[in-house]
Homo-oligomer: A and B are copies of this chain.
Amino acid sequence: MIQKQFSVNGVERIVFVDPEAPLSSILREQLGLTGTKVGCGEAQCGACSVIVDGKVVRSCALRMKRLPEYAQVTTIEGIGTPDNLHPLQRAFIKIGAAQCGFCTPGFIVSAKVLLDENKKPSREEVRDWFQKNRNACRCTGYIPIVDAVMEAAKVLRGEMKAEELDYKEPADGRVFGSYRPRPTAVAKVTGTLDYGADRGLKLPPNALHIALVQAEVSHANIRGIDISEAAKMPGVFKVITHKDVKGKNRINGLPAVPYNKCDGWDRPILCDTKVFQYGDAIAMVCASSYEEAVAAAKKVKVDLDPLPAYLNVQAAREPDAIEIHPGTPNVFFTQDLEWGGDPEAAFAKDGVVTVEERVGTSRQPHLTIEPDVGFAYPDEEGRIHVYSKSIGVHLHQAMICEGVGLQSDQLFLACNPMGGTFGYKFSPTMEALVAVAALDTGRPVFLRYTYKQHMQYTGKRSPFFFTIKMGADKQTGKIVGLKYEFDMDHGPYSEFGDLLTLRGIQFTGAGYDIPNVRGQGRAVFTNHAWGSAFRSYGSPQAFMASETIVDELAAKLGMDPLEFRALNAYREGSVNRSGQDLDSHSLPKMFDALRPKYKAALEKAKKDSTPALKKGVGISVGVYGCGLDGPDSSAAFAELNPDNTITVGSSWEDHGQGADAGAIGVAHEALRPMKVAADRLRFTWPDTFKTPNSGPAGGSRSQVMTGSAIRVACEAMLEGLKKPGGGYLTYEEAVKANKPLRYDGAYSVPGVPCDAKGLGKPFMVYMYGIFMAEVTVDVATGKTAVDKMTLMADVGKVNNRLILDGQLYGGMAQGIGLALSEDFEDIQKHISLISGGLPFIKDVPDNMELVYFEEPREYGPFGAAGCGELPLSSPHVSILNAIYNASGARVTQIPARPDVVLKALKAAGN
């Protein structure tokens, strides 16, 4: 330990530190300044940026021994406070530049130094700065952040008053349909919102830190686990193995359909008989400090008997492959689609042109800036409370109770404020682990994954491997049939594998009228990373197949790819891939609106292309549903409080998508007759102990389902508090009149699950979009740059415009990553943000155009649909199609990293 004297936010401090410890730890753990967030912990993401002697420094990498004596350190807490916001903070709020907010303090701190050095930066200089300082954002697509910096700079130059950055209410006072900043924005831009790791540091002193003992092989039988040496290590309270798990020690995978060959009980909480994938948890060391827990975890000896590791579907489907879960075939689920007649018959007809292709998708990692984190504790009655990044608190409660060994009234799940999850938290990750540890130790327990653990031991997007064939009539240009099959690599755990296969069936070929379709999807166990949800779940894989084949077919027909699509697109009278009537018929209008932009883009590409840098334009159609399969439902409440605020209660989990603003927007609209100001509405943090089951925050369902439940609750409140002579009762009046103060709202939709032939009404609300990508392909290197993305979007009536823009920008940025760089194929290598392929600011164009078609939806609140999934449904295919348009190179396997594109360029004769 050494003594360091330095100044933090203007206060001189003498602090006693481990010389090897990073500045971020000292700021957060020793000085309590948790405004500085730590993302990757490897100096890749810039979340932990602070200012040291006037320079931006990634504090996770600055070891204390290197901090100059008397250094002047400024953290987000020193930039501005909720009462006294810096113009950058005001601008980030106004522009909606903070979505999940986890990277926000780092961006603001970084931008502060930029604007200290350069009072009038250009947008490109702002982008260069964030690129240089490695400030990474996974939510926003970066554009709002650059917007915010440009606005703040104006204030700092004196060209604008700071107050002009404050949100102005529209004349009609409406919140629904406005640009109102989200309720958590101030806390996010000031670093005062406590995320899981922040709360973990603020637990009582008896909290234990958990270090995992994890498998370092992908498949093995377990012979024995020796914890004796570890248990004696300093600070160790308990070493927990499967023997200590009081319940079934399995996560309930909740099979969705009866023809799933799994019972769902395949994923262990702590491995007992077998290791199924690299990183599987075998033991937990609970110790007084993280360092002690890690040191002891190294002393746990695991005796393993290695088995062949099946790291892809081919290997797992080999005839001599053993069953990963003995008793269950590795191909554990098959889903067919039958619509119309046999496509092969249609293909065989005269004048029909067909194309057949094999396409494959990647194991896209979610690349969240915040790694997985959570904690649990026993309450006064011994009940266990788990706080995590769960985006399905009631769902996960159902999935882990039995495994942990508790009834649902003994185990509660709640959300911490959290960084974007983009769906990986639709699966429980550490919830069962911390619940087991809290139950076993009787103490609060805290677990935070390192970034490597976060990469290796959370679910990934499951790759699909398609064979797909489509035919169209040469004369009419009409598609006559579609036939495909795919294997889906779901890793070793079955949970939601049936649903994911179903998504492949629901969206392959979506957007088009196709009379004859046959498809089959197969879910396969492997020993690679388990498959979890990821934004637009299943559809990027489906569209990878169908939007590629459509493009190829158009080319073969000699038709313009936009016109071929427009000709075949859904229209009045169409049904979707599940045989269901459409809820909106916006696609033709969108094609009409896109057409002139498309022509101009083609022209520009032609003009600007050079033999070395080829430019092209690509199109793709994207469709996604809002909801769970079939008859989805949600619950919420509205409650009048003693201070006459109204609590808008639900379990709408917020992982940056804006549950707070969503709930308030709907509630405010529903309560307009009461004339209640938006800042008198309180949203709730989801907690199965307190808030009703609103279902998970995935599949763009929350606004439709929970938004509607909130609407219903608010309408009940209006009715319940109405005064006979007009107006509404106050709290005091309601109490006096003996009126209820709380009004529950339930909402459900009459969906019908898909049957064994893939037909039904899985979603009552859909989103529709058309993507147009403009790219430049460097023929020498194979490197592709996306110059612009355009999205024609129909997500129904808009609740919050600020948040909607952010969702679409951010989703398309992830589409760029999906198309060009992101992967988790190499378990050893793809373990960081950079090696995993995260797009930094210069990988994302500063030019993304959004055009809305606000078709009202019958089943959404005030006509709104969901929105989060649409932008990642098929943007990647528009990029691949643009590469083809630019260069003739057809990429059929993502990511289209330079080597892949080079190969395709060569195949195309470049």
Interface segment, one of A215-223, A239-247, A287-295, A605-613: A287-295
A237 neighbours in B (Cβ, 8 Å): 234-235
**A235 partner, pick from B235, B375, B378, beta carbons under 8 A:** B235
**A187 partner, pick from B1, B11, B378, beta carbons under 8 A:** B11
Check B204–A17 contact: CB distance below 8 A. yes
Within 8 A of B (CB), among A758-797: none
Interface size on A, residues (CB 8 A): 52
A30 neighbours in B (Cβ, 8 Å): 202-204
- Is A350 located at the chain interface by the 8 A CB criterion? no
Hey, what's the 0/1 contact readout for A620-642 against B, CB within 8 Å counting as 1? Answer: 00000000000000000000000
Check B199–A16 contact: CB distance below 8 A. yes
A375 neighbours in B (Cβ, 8 Å): 16
Hey, what's the 0/1 contact readout for A177-202 against B, CB within 8 Å counting as 1? Answer: 00000000001001010100001001
- Is A738 located at the chain interface by the 8 A CB criterion? no
Check A444–B16 contact: CB distance below 8 A. yes
Query: Roughly how many angstroms separate A238 CA and B192 CA in the complex, as a whole number?
Result: 38
Residue on B nearest A690 in the bound complex, by CB: B3
Query: Roughly how many angstroms separate A384 CA and B32 CA in the complex, as a whole number?
Result: 26
Check A205–B32 contact: CB distance below 8 A. no
Check A21–B204 contact: CB distance below 8 A. yes
A685 neighbours in B (Cβ, 8 Å): 14
Check B206–A10 contact: CB distance below 8 A. no
A409 neighbours in B (Cβ, 8 Å): none
Minimum CB–CB distance from A826 to chain B (whole Å) comes to: 33
Query: Roughly how many angstroms separate A288 CA and B289 CA in the complex, as a whole number?
Result: 8
Check A204–B10 contact: CB distance below 8 A. no
A83 neighbours in B (Cβ, 8 Å): 10
**A32 partner, pick from B15, B31, B82, B377, beta carbons under 8 A:** B31
How many copies of this protein are present in the complex? 2
Residue on B nearest A16 in the bound complex, by CB: B203
Check A379–B1 contact: CB distance below 8 A. yes
Residue on B nearest A32 in the bound complex, by CB: B32
- Is A476 located at the chain interface by the 8 A CB criterion? no
Check A192–B444 contact: CB distance below 8 A. no
Residue on B nearest A687 in the bound complex, by CB: B3
Within 8 A of B (CB), among A368-412: 375, 377-380, 385, 387
Minimum CB–CB distance from A612 to chain B (whole Å) comes to: 52
Within 8 A of B (CB), among A418-456: 444
Check B291–A206 contact: CB distance below 8 A. yes
- Is A751 located at the chain interface by the 8 A CB criterion? no
Q: Known contacts being A379-B1, A379-B2, is A204 close to B16, with CB within 8 Å? A: yes
Q: Known contacts being A199-B14, A444-B1, is A205 close to B380, with CB within 8 Å? A: no
A194 neighbours in B (Cβ, 8 Å): 13-14
A205 neighbours in B (Cβ, 8 Å): 29, 289-291
A16 neighbours in B (Cβ, 8 Å): 199, 202-204, 375, 377, 387, 444
- Is A18 located at the chain interface by the 8 A CB criterion? yes
Residue on B nearest A378 in the bound complex, by CB: B1
Within 8 A of B (CB), among A60-119: 81-84
- Is A12 located at the chain interface by the 8 A CB criterion? yes
Q: Known contacts being A377-B1, A380-B2, is A15 close to B82, with CB within 8 Å? A: no
A19 neighbours in B (Cβ, 8 Å): 380
A84 neighbours in B (Cβ, 8 Å): 84
- Is A175 located at the chain interface by the 8 A CB criterion? no
Residue on B nearest A5 in the bound complex, by CB: B685
- Is A709 located at the chain interface by the 8 A CB criterion? no
Query: Roughly how many angstroms separate A387 CA and B205 CA in the complex, as a whole number?
Result: 23
Query: Roughly how many angstroms separate A194 CA and B16 CA in the complex, as a whole number?
Result: 12
Within 8 A of B (CB), among A345-378: 375, 377-378
- Is A282 located at the chain interface by the 8 A CB criterion? no
Residue on B nearest A287 in the bound complex, by CB: B288
- Is A33 located at the chain interface by the 8 A CB criterion? yes
A3 neighbours in B (Cβ, 8 Å): 385, 414
Query: Roughly how many angstroms separate A81 CA and B11 CA in the complex, as a whole number?
Result: 9
Minimum CB–CB distance from A577 to chain B (whole Å) comes to: 43
Query: Roughly how many angstroms separate A291 CA and B187 CA in the complex, as a whole number?
Result: 33
Check A12–B202 contact: CB distance below 8 A. no
Query: Roughly how many angstroms separate A81 CA and B79 CA in the complex, as a whole number?
Result: 13
Residue on B nearest A183 in the bound complex, by CB: B12
Residue on B nearest A84 in the bound complex, by CB: B84
Check B1–A204 contact: CB distance below 8 A. yes
Listed residue (A15, A235, A444) with the most chain B CB atoms within 10 angstroms of its CB: A235
A192 neighbours in B (Cβ, 8 Å): 11
Query: Roughly how many angstroms separate A379 CA and B17 CA in the complex, as a whole number?
Result: 10
Hey, what's the 0/1 contact readout for A661-692 against B, CB within 8 Å counting as 1? Answer: 00000000000000000000000010000000
Residue on B nearest A29 in the bound complex, by CB: B205
Check A206–B292 contact: CB distance below 8 A. yes
Listed residue (A18, A206, A444) with the most chain B CB atoms within 10 angstroms of its CB: A206
A31 neighbours in B (Cβ, 8 Å): 32, 202
Check A289–B206 contact: CB distance below 8 A. yes
A21 neighbours in B (Cβ, 8 Å): 204
A289 neighbours in B (Cβ, 8 Å): 205-206, 288
Query: Roughly how many angstroms separate A203 CA and B31 CA in the complex, as a whole number?
Result: 9
Listed residue (A81, A290, A414, A685) with the most chain B CB atoms within 10 angstroms of its CB: A81
Within 8 A of B (CB), among A1-57: 1-3, 10-19, 21, 29-34
**A15 partner, pick from B10, B14, B202, B235, beta carbons under 8 A:** B202
Hey, what's the 0/1 contact readout for A716-745 against B, CB within 8 Å counting as 1? Answer: 000000000000000000000000000000
Check A82–B10 contact: CB distance below 8 A. yes
Residue on B nearest A441 in the bound complex, by CB: B234
A199 neighbours in B (Cβ, 8 Å): 14-16
A17 neighbours in B (Cβ, 8 Å): 204
Listed residue (A14, A203, A444) with the most chain B CB atoms within 10 angstroms of its CB: A14
Within 8 A of B (CB), among A570-619: none
A206 neighbours in B (Cβ, 8 Å): 18, 289, 291-292
Minimum CB–CB distance from A871 to chain B (whole Å) comes to: 31
Query: Roughly how many angstroms separate A234 CA and B234 CA in the complex, as a whole number?
Result: 11
Query: Roughly how many angstroms separate A757 CA and B674 CA in the complex, as a whole number?
Result: 93
A2 neighbours in B (Cβ, 8 Å): 379-380
Minimum CB–CB distance from A367 to chain B (whole Å) comes to: 27
Query: Roughly how many angstroms separate A202 CA and B199 CA in the complex, as a whole number?
Result: 17
Minimum CB–CB distance from A412 to chain B (whole Å) comes to: 10
Listed residue (A291, A380, A414) with the most chain B CB atoms within 10 angstroms of its CB: A380
Check B288–A12 contact: CB distance below 8 A. no
A12 neighbours in B (Cβ, 8 Å): 187
Residue on B nearest A18 in the bound complex, by CB: B204
The 10 nearest A-B residue pairs measured at CB: A32-B32, A288-B288, A205-B289, A11-B192, A30-B202, A1-B377, A10-B82, A18-B204, A235-B288, A16-B203
A-B contacts, 23 listed (Cβ < 8 Å): A1-B204, A1-B377, A1-B378, A1-B379, A1-B444, A10-B82, A11-B82, A14-B194, A14-B199, A14-B685, A15-B202, A16-B204, A17-B204, A18-B204, A19-B380, A29-B204, A29-B205, A30-B203, A32-B202, A205-B289, A205-B291, A206-B292, A235-B237
Q: 14 other contacts beyond A10-B81, A14-B685, A32-B32, with CB at 8 A cut-off? A: A1-B379, A11-B82, A11-B187, A16-B199, A16-B375, A19-B380, A29-B205, A30-B202, A30-B203, A30-B204, A206-B291, A206-B292, A235-B237, A288-B288
